[in-house]
Each structure stands twice: as structure tokens, then as C-alpha cells.
Amino acid sequence: MSEHDVVQYAVEDGIGIITINNPPVNALGAGVSEGIIASVDKAEADPAVRALVMIGAGRSFIAGADIRRFGTKREQPARRSYDALEQCSKPVVAAIHGFALGGGLENALCCTWRIAVPSAKVGLPEVLIGVIPGGGGTQRLPRLIGAKAALEMIVSGRHVPAPEAETLGIIDAVVETKDLRATAIAFAKTKAGAGLRRISDQPPAAAEAGMFEAQRKAIARKARGQPAPFAAIAAVEAACNLPCAEGLVEERRLFGTLENSAEARALRYAFFAEREVTKLPQLPKETAAVEVKTAAVVGAGTMGGGIAMSFADSGLPVKLMDATQEALDRGMERIRANYAVSVKRGSLTQAEMDKRLGLIEPVEGYEAIADCDAVIEAVFEQMAVKQEVFAKLDSVMKPGALLFTNSSALDIDKIAESTKRPEAVAGTHFFAPANVMKLFEVVEGSKTAPATLAAGMKLGRAIGKVSAYAGNCDGFVANRSRIPFGLEQNLMVEEGARPEQIDRVMVAFGYPMGPFAVNDLSGLDVNYMTRKRRAAADPNYRKWPVADRIVEMGRKGQKTGAGWYRYEPGDRTPHPDPVVDQIAREVAAELGIEQKVFTDEEILHRLLFASLNEACKILAEGKALRASDIDVMWLNGFGFPRYRGGLMFWADEIGAEAVYNQVAAWHQRYGARWAPAPLLREIAEAGGKFREAKAPTLR
């Protein structure tokens, strides 16, 4: 595209109008900056033009830079659009709708005035892709709204609604209008000849003593391993200590150190992977996704309550059903308690809590949900229980209703057999806690209709989740790929590794919690039942005797005060427990396993290579569409550190050949469970990338 395609310039009644037209979101791709500069130059050369308006066509102002250009070799222009806008001798009004993010807001900050519709959002979210603002945002925003407010925005990367942006001083006026263009032109006329306001002319921003050091300490744990948030702090600090011109040079230097860092490359990959995961190329092009306007959840337990909260958190009404009033009351009380914690923390207001609670309607009996467009079953993870629920749903739900199961592993086809409408049945697997975790696995059964699958994907997005496709198999994609991780985690304990060492290794890798601490938080009895089911079905199933004995002793995790760790009353801090070490020694002796000392690297690679090998099998079977989809699942379902890209991306950083050689060596040592997947061997022999692997149907 040329600058003439993506930026148009016109003059209307003495006002020059610069229109960014680079769909879908008016990103600052090739030609956009050049088009803005050319438009400003035309206005400067035309004495009839008294002021300018810059506005976006379509659904946004400018939603940011074209991220695909990051990390590529590109010429640095002698003059940038920021410079042209700020140095213009005539007032420029930025008229904002949709998003003004990253370079979009930075261009707006170089305009003389900024107006926005109420629904608009602004922000500098560059830290979320491993860099910092590179168009002056770290220098101009602190000068405009103060160092403290700017620091919070830039380090968090959050999107700020227009009314709040007006309060902060980013936006000069929030305008209620159906015709932003006309309103902006009228506003520009009132500012013609009224003088210029250049943020870069303002002195360095003032900062409270110790503010920057306090911010570094505040993010130290959450941002470990990520240089971008700390670089953002350094850049804002420069805005408080240097003239703007020198601060801009420092900003560009810091940006340059980050752009090609391992973390930035991983975060950019994750950004695009989460957009690719929404695409289901196997669906016929004419498939229309039904919009779910009324929904119900069957089962008011911990998972069902969390699912209901996901609907309410997105502003969607939902009915919550259980078999008895007592169960409903317990479920609603749990939901109230969860919201109350958010209110106490200050992340939710009481008014917002009351509004969300009002969207959850507790009902008793299947007849109360019969007219809903979709129902999500969230009862106990046993096939017979789920089949009974689906038979009842089939008998009462209206024609065309979608029947979804929140099963985490069970056969979707067997569940669908309990109905006379298997085409309307699919899996919609939430991850615990359902109201927090973003992953929403949509599972296709052998008879699931394309429209049902499309509706499931759309529903997940509607409630703020990341919808990802999975084929029907035991554990689907996410949990199936995670099973070997859990197995090796437990077997290493038999072999002499201690739970606290394994947890320490994974936290150092970037996980927010270690796997044993997570198990205790979730409850050890859930996986215990799953293991029993798998052991009954497979005579070769490798049991987890240490984990089983812990549960059989009544140690089910935090809820019982003991699991892999012990817990003091009212305290969730895990304390290593000699009882667990004793159980591990006893099991090792019974199995004839000689215990040893593990290196941290061996622990890390045993856990992740095992799952990588399984992921290659899943892809080869077509149960996942793309390797990047598996990465999205690990990022959003298991807390895999985002700045490492995902399981497949991370393995590529080690190299396919090195991974294969280690898996092959462990195959020789540990036996069949480590047999290299054919796809793993194929990628290694070809010198390929795991992240580029696809299902056979997409190759």
C-alpha cells in the first residue's frame, strides 16, 4: 500500500482533514506515517487551511504500530509523523474513536488538542509485547499528566477508557456525538488561531522522592525475567531528569535494546498466536455462528459458579441451576464470597459486585432453563453423571439449543450419545478457576455440527476467554499435553527430587506457582479420581503411588490443611513436610528405585520435554490444528510464562535436534513412555521448528 491508499487528505471549510484508512484497525503500517507527514506538509503550504483534524476511518483511530515490522531491518526515517504533527504551525485536533494505542496515542500526544467519544480507549501497551513506547510516549505522557499516573499506565500497559483519560488530562474533551468528523471540524474551527500547545516544550515532569525505586520493588516478583517493565521505569525516570530532546534519545536507545530481545520475540509470537487460534479452516465458509443471548449453567459447585461469574463479568445474564435449593444457596454464597474478596482488594467496587450478582439468576429444576439458547454442564467428572444430565437436557431444552459440557477429559461422543441431538453437543472446557483463567477449549465430537463448533468458539470470546479448538480424545489437547508433565513431576519425587525443589525450578523458570503448590490449591482428590479411571481402562497405566497415598491419608491439599505441603490454619503458605519425603522413600524402596540428586536443568527438561513429545503426537493425530494453538493453551490455561512464548516456541530456542537427542536418551533409560514421537524426529531431522508444525490436514 502506498501512503495515498492508507492516508487521505482533504480540506473542508478551512480545516485540513487527515484520514487514516488502513483497515482493519488503522495500524501504523507502511505508508501511514509517510501519509501523515505529506498531509501536514500540504496543510502548511496552504494559507487557506487554518487548523487540522486527524481521524481514523472504520472502527478505530490508530490502534498502534504494525507489530509485524518489529524485529525486522528497516530504515529509520529522518522525519517522523510525531515530529511533523508537533512542529506544525497550525493547531491539530486528534479525533479519537475505538482505540488510540501505542503509536496511535503517541501521534495524538503530538497533536495540539485531543477529543474522544466516550467508548474510546487510549494506552501505551508496548510492555505487553516486550518493548516500550518508541515514539515519545514515555517523555510526553509524564509531562502531560504527571510522572506517577504516566508510570502506572506505561508499566501496566492497560487501556484507559476515555472518561478516565479526560480526568487524567490526556483527553481535552469527551464528546457525545454520532458524527465525530463533523464535531472535530467544528472543534478545530474554535481553536484556529488560538495558539499552540507543545508537550515537548514543557519542563521535565516532577516525581515523588523514591517513586521509581518503589515501582521497581513493586514489580520485581511479577516482572522477573522481563526487561521491558524495568526499561519503562527508566524511560519515565529520564522524562523527570532530562530535557525532552535528550529524553527522546534515551527512549529510542532503550527501545533498541529491547526490540530483538528473546522476551520481545516470544511476546510478539504469543500476540500473533492468540489471533491465529481463532481461525478454524476446516469450517465451511458459509458457517454462521449462532449468537448465544440466553445461557444457563448446570451445577453450582466451584467450577459451575466460576463459569457463571465469567458470564456476569462480561455483562451477560446467566441462569445457575442445581438439583437442590441447598446446593444453589451454597453456590451463590461462594460466588458472593469470591466477589467480596475482589471488593476488599479494591479491584471491584461494591456497585459493580451488586450489578454482577444481579446477572446470575439461581434456578431450581431443568424446566427453568428450557428456553435458553445454550447450556453448559458443570457437574462431577464422571461419565454416568454427565450422561444422566445430558439425557435430561435433551428432553427439556428447546429445539436448536446448544448443549455444552465442561468435561476436562471425558469422551464427548459418549456424552452426546445420551441425546437425540449429538450435532448440538460439544465440549466447552474451562480451566480453574473458571472466572480467572482465560483458556476456553472448544472440543469437537464426531457428530458436532460446524455451526455448533463455531458457536462455541464465539461464546468463549463473548465472555472474555481465548477460544481454542481441540479434537476429541482423552484429556483433549491442553490436559492431554500436560499429563506427561504431571507424570514426570511425580516420578521424579520417587527418584529423589523433593517437591519444593521442583516448585523452585518452575517458579525460577517463570511460573507464578510451582506445580505441587498448584496441585494443593486445586485439590488432590480431583486428579486422584481421574487416575483411577485411567488405571481401570489401561492395564499398562503407570500409577502415581506417592500421590495416591497422600490422598488416601486424607491429605487433599489446602482445603484439608495438608497435601504435598502442610499448611497452618488460615495460612496458604506451603511448608515442606517430612511426611511426604518418607512416603517417597517408602515407595522408591518398594519399586526398587534408587534415589538420586537432580540438577535444576534435568528437572526442567524432564517436565517440559515430556509434554513437548506428547504435543507432537497430538498434532500428528490432528487433535490440535497448529503448534501455536498448543502454545496458546499453555499460556492461558497453565500459567506458562508468557515471555517464553509457549511450550513449542521455548523448545525451538533450545533446538529440535538437542531436544530429540535428549528424548531419545531418556527413551533408552526409562522405556516406552519416552519413545520419541515420529513428528518430533521428523522436525529434528529436517532442522525445522516446532512452532511451525501443523495438523496433517493443514500441511
Q: Mutual orientation of helices 227-241 and 147-156 as an angle, nearest 10°?
A: 160
Grid cell locating 515: 506445580
Which of the residues 126, 251, 274, 494 is marked catalytic? Answer: 126
Q: Where are the alpha helices (DSSP H) in 75-179?
A: 81-87, 103-109, 137-145, 147-156, 162-168
Instruction: Confirm whether 106 is a catalytic residue.
Output: yes
User: How many other CB atoms are there within 10 angstroms of residue 252's CB atom?
Assistant: 15
**Catalytic (active site) residue 126:** yes
Question: CA–CA separation, 606 vs 507, rounded Å?
Answer: 15
SS (H, E, C) 562-595: ECCEECCCCCCCCEECHHHHHHHHHHHHHHCCCC
Long-range contacts (CB closer than 8 Å, 24 or more residues apart) made by 337-346: 338/305, 338/306, 338/309, 338/435, 339/309
Neighbour-count burial of 162, counting CB atoms closer than 10 A to its CB (0-12 exposed, 13-18 middle, 19+ buried): buried
Alpha-helical segments (H) within 110-210: 137-145, 147-156, 162-168, 180-191
Q: Quick check: 418 and 387 in contact, CB under 8 A?
A: yes
Is the bond into 24 cis (omega within 30 degrees of 0)? yes
Pairing relationship of beta strands 425-430 and 439-444 according to DSSP bridges: antiparallel
**What does residue 19 show for φ and ψ, rounded to 5 degrees?**
-115, 120
- For residue 659, give the nearest of 670, 648, 668, 669 by alpha carbon: 648
CA 653, chain centre distance (Å): 22
Q: For 291, which DSSP code?
A: P
Chain centroid to CA 378: how far? 23
CB 441 within 8 A of CB 429: yes
Stated length of the chain? 699
Give the dihedral of Cα atoms 582, 587, 589, 595; nearest 10 deg.
-70
Q: Which of 3, 34, 86, 106 is catalytic?
A: 106
Backbone angles phi, psi at 371, to 5 degrees: -95, 5
Catalytic residues: 106, 126
